[in-house]
Structure 1
């Protein structure tokens, strides 16, 4: 009973840690700027080219290069002080986005800057993911912090979907990009002032982290059934991002307008926020045990789109999917990060994060191609079904790995 009480105040307990509060605020600022920049880039490119294809390509460039970044640029988080890696990444991203904000920047250069900015997200995410367990030093507090980050990320996304278009039209796309550059500067300042500098991670008898060691971490992760199962479950987002990606054609198939697009895109973030709030009532051991099961059932609401439901029913289905996806994502990412050796945590967390983002980008791209052939509703149902089919063996692998390996000890 006492354990449940601790869980109910978990997110507030995480915010009580000063360093986490600073990292949380820095992330909130930069992620809000990123969402605004995505809307601004879409508007800017479409205004200049009147091409949906080029607009879609530019949007995809805000996701896809993270795969290369995760492979090539995660290792500094395990070789240099992690706070300094985050600050350096913020400064570089601020300069790149400032270049995008210059009026009249050639389209080819704009695309290059977008891709390089996305590429350089990797060292920041890797260092952030590796530093958080040092800041939140117990497993329950770390999971609570991950839950809070997930909820706030979805809330920022919800605001961006609801207000982003209005803001960009009101203040000009170039100015919106300039604001995004400013959020990276603010993030760097907050980290420099409020987060303690720690020495680089090290493990006796091992070489310093490098590009080659990232491949080694990837191989070790793949060989560990527990970590392999968690990575697989996290990457189910490749399928479950499809409703968001197809909101516009799905709304058109329902005979509704632009307002419905925003409502459909908001349904999953609203579900995710509800999932973050309700997760604290789930006993920790039960939640960890059911990570694979949640991965399966998260796809079932999407399968029901094969019935071509109306707007309200579709929103409810997408919202339920968001709740279930949050339940597996928060706990799965926490278990994965805590299961990494400290000296490899940055590279492992970076690979997980960048693979997740890249999978979402590729999933959205594939969904658009398929929807042109079979329609948006059937594509969403197909994606849900593929997610369920993929999740079944991953859930079985997770159950077997847990049965053969002791639970992670609670840190103090």
Structure 2
């Protein structure tokens, strides 16, 4: 494998990649901080797990719409410019959310617009990375991004819980707006100008979508990625889950941070100690294992045990997510690879949004811990036939 020829150090030695990496680190940390703030703010105002789940869902769900309708902007206009404009727009919108007393309906509207802007930003970023990193450094760059995103989630969730408990949710939203503004500046000064690519246009997304559903393995990868619909429950229900334990905002941040902590550990163990063929073979099994820890929430464990369970789910779900991306990278045609990966990622985020919405409604009826357990059980049930289908799919990768 040529991936071993490159290292994290060689990738980070590329100035443009460092700029993209730093910009994403800032905005991701700010996003997680905002998720904690919104969960606490909405639950304090409404005392409703369903509305809390709805708000959390809005931090994911509109990504699908933005990805499908606006991802073509990264082909019609210079990708660097698309990223900068998206960052500036998100900074302005989140700043509006940070104004105390904003009505709940307006908060949801602004949040929807912010998340829709994530679609063209991510599409432009994914399409730009192959121009910045060539050959095996591109794959290593994706791995660096994964670790960065998960680390930013840990810092944003844990630090967010601490900041919200000390200060207030509106200040946390203001800090999120600032991270988008700084991200725009970093990209503007750290990434060089390139002309727009007009070869794909809007047709690229449709072509990539067709390529995914024509290939049986790509279809299975897409369906396995959608298991995140079930495994987002602990994060989306962090506020009511902590309330069931009699804990406050700091515990909310810790619960939200558990999944990304497990993700970092899982990514390291999976890529360091599991061989390539074994990774491919256990892909479906990992989807099952990710749901098993959540079933134990039926026992209503304390905070420490809950965090361990959620971390295990994060480890297993990240392992299958990484393998899904790596396999899709090999199966997708060169002409639609970036857009195809973007569509798969967008679909997974949309599944998380739907899952957060359903988990919130279920928690209002049955309680947060039981809702998490039901979500995990449902994930296991759905993952079993997918794992069987994956194990029977023996056509070699080309």
Q: TM-score if structure 1 supplies the norm length? A: 0.83
Match of 2:14 among 6, 14, 17: 17
Aligned-partner SS, 2:134:
coil
Query: What is the alpha-carbon distance in structure 1 between the residues aligned to residue 242 and residue 82 of structure 2?
Result: 42
**Is residue 257 from structure 1 mapped to residue 247 from structure 2 by the alignment?**
yes
Q: In the TM superposition, what are the counterparts of 1:373-388 in structure 2 within 5 Å?
A: 373-388=365-380
Which of 181, 186, 192 lines up with 2:188 in the alignment?
Answer: 192
Give the corresponding residue for 1:287. 279
1:371–1:93 Cα change, 3 Å: closer
* In structure 1, C-alpha distance between the alignment counterparts of 2:107 and 2:210, rounded to whole Å: 35
Report the counterpart of residue 224 of structure 1 in structure 2.
Answer: 215
- State the partner residue of 2:60: 63
Residue in structure 1 matched with residue 361 of structure 2 by the alignment:
369
Once residues 247 and 132 of structure 1 are traced to their aligned partners in structure 2, the CA distance between those partners, rounded to angstroms, is 34
Where structure 2 has 5 or more consecutive residues not aligned to the other structure, the ranges are none
Equivalent pair of 1:129/1:337 in contact (CA under 8 Å): no
8 A Cα contact 2:289 2:380, kept in partner: yes
1:336: which partner in 2? 328
Q: Paired residue for 1:244, among 214, 235, 239?
A: 235
- Please report how far the alpha carbon of residue 27 of structure 1 lies from its aligned counterpart in structure 2 after TM superposition: 0.3
Q: Distance in 2 between matches of 1:45 and 1:309?
A: 25
**Corresponding residue number in structure 1 for 2:258:** 267
Q: Of 91, 96, 113, which residue of structure 1 is paired with 2:110? A: 113
Give yes or no for contact 2:33–2:157 (8 Å, CA) kept in 1.
no
Q: State the Cα distance separating 1:50 from its structure 2 match.
A: 4.7
Structure 1 residue corresponding to 2:147, chosen from 145, 151, 167: 151
Q: Are 1:33 and 2:30 counterparts?
A: yes
Which of 73, 76, 79 does residue 79 from structure 1 map onto? 76
Cα offset, 1:51, TM superposition: 5.3
Superimposed CA distance per residue, residues 285-327 of structure 1 (whole angstroms, 9 cap, x where no aligned partner): 4323432222222222223334544544333222222211121
> CA 1:326/1:12 → structure 2, altered by over 3 Å: closer, same or farther?
farther
Q: Secondary structure at 2:311's aligned position in 1?
A: helix
Structure 1 position 260, deviation (Å): 4.9
Q: Do the aligned partners of residues 90 and 156 (structure 1) sit closer, same or farther apart at CA in structure 2, a change above 3 Å counting? A: same
The answer for the alignment partner of 2:4 in structure 1 is 6
- Supply the distance in 1 between the matched residues of 2:325 and 2:211 (Cα, whole angstroms): 17
Distance in 2 between the 1:202 and 1:400 partners?
40
Partner Cα distance (1:311, 1:38) in 2: 20
The answer to whether the 8 Å contact 1:301/1:320 transfers is yes
Structure 1 unaligned blocks of 5 or more? 408-412
Q: Residue 53 of structure 2 contacts residue 356 of structure 2 at CA under 8 Å; is this kept in 1?
A: no
Does structure 1 residue 181 correspond to structure 2 residue 177? yes
- 1:277 Cα deviation from its structure 2 partner: 2.5
CA contact 1:125–1:353 (8 Å) conserved in 2: no
Conserved in 1, the CA contact under 8 Å of 2:259 and 2:314? yes
Note the C-alpha offset of 1:79: 3.4
| Mapped partners of 1:357, 1:132: distance in 2 | 20
CA distance in 1, matches of 2:241, 2:51: 21
**1:71-123 deviation line (CA, Å, top 9, x unaligned):** 21122223333222212211222222233334555544333222111111100
* Alignment partners' CA distance in 2, 1:343 and 1:88: 26
Q: Given the alignment, which residue of 311, 326, 351 partners 2:318? A: 326
Q: Distance in 2 between matches of 1:45 and 1:335?
A: 39
Deviation at 1:186, TM superposition (A): 1.8
**Is the alpha carbon distance of 1:374 and 1:105 closer, same or farther for their aligned partners in structure 2, counting shifts above 3 Å?**
closer
Q: Secondary structure at the match of 1:209?
A: coil
- Check whether the contact 2:160–2:172 (CA below 8 A) recurs between aligned residues: no
- Asked if residue 97 in structure 1 is aligned to residue 94 in structure 2, the reply is yes
CA contact (8 A) 1:125 1:349 kept: no
TM-score by length of 2: 0.86
Report the Cα offset of residue 29 of structure 1. 0.6
- Tell which deviates more after alignment, 354-363 or 11-20: 11-20
Superposition misfits of 4+ residues, deviation over 6 angstroms: none
